[in-house]
Amino acid sequence: MSQVSIESLFLLSRAEGYLGLGMIEDAANEIEKIAPDEKTCKEVMEFRLELAVVAKSWDMAATLGKVLTRADPDSVQLWIQYAYAVRRLESVENAEKILLRAMEIHPEEPMIRFNLACYASVTGRIAEAKKRLGEAIEINEGMRQLALDDEDLKPLWDAITE
């Protein structure tokens, strides 16, 4: 991945601002102004992944997620975005495989376990979902409230509040 120039950082900053305002097309237009050889910079690619997720461009998001997690396996957020895109593009089962790989690298990351709980829940594996969610909550108690706001975990809501 190449270096990013000051001009490209400015364009990236503008794109982030547009995206923050929900102006997806304007954000995409700013990114297109970046020099072709700088579009492979880590910062630009990470933003393009975020933009693809917001725009629900699952094919692009999955492709970028795959490339970025290979380049930077230490970034938990990249794994989660990659899995989310694959869930929407392909299947929950394929997304789950991605997060199981991520959990090997990040065994103490509660959001990976939280998302695995969601995947187990939506596929009807409630006992596994409870186990995964319990592990996430054990690592970070804040996961409990997050679970009560996540429709994927609705079958577990009664157990969470007990």
36 DSSP 8-state letter: G
pLDDT at position 73: 96
pLDDT at position 162: 65
What DSSP element (H or E) covers 148?
helix 142-148
pLDDT at position 109: 97
Quote the pTM value.
Answer: 0.88
pLDDT at position 161: 78
User: Mean pLDDT for each 10-residue chunk of the chain (162 residues)?
Assistant: 78 94 95 91 93 96 97 95 97 98 97 97 96 96 95 92 72
In angstroms, the Cα distances linking 75 to 39, 65, 71, 100, 161 are 19, 11, 10, 15, 31
Q: CA-CA distance, 120 to 136, in Å (whole number)?
A: 14
Tokens of 128: 């596994």
pLDDT at position 2: 56
Q: CA-CA distance, 110 to 126, in Å (whole number)?
A: 18
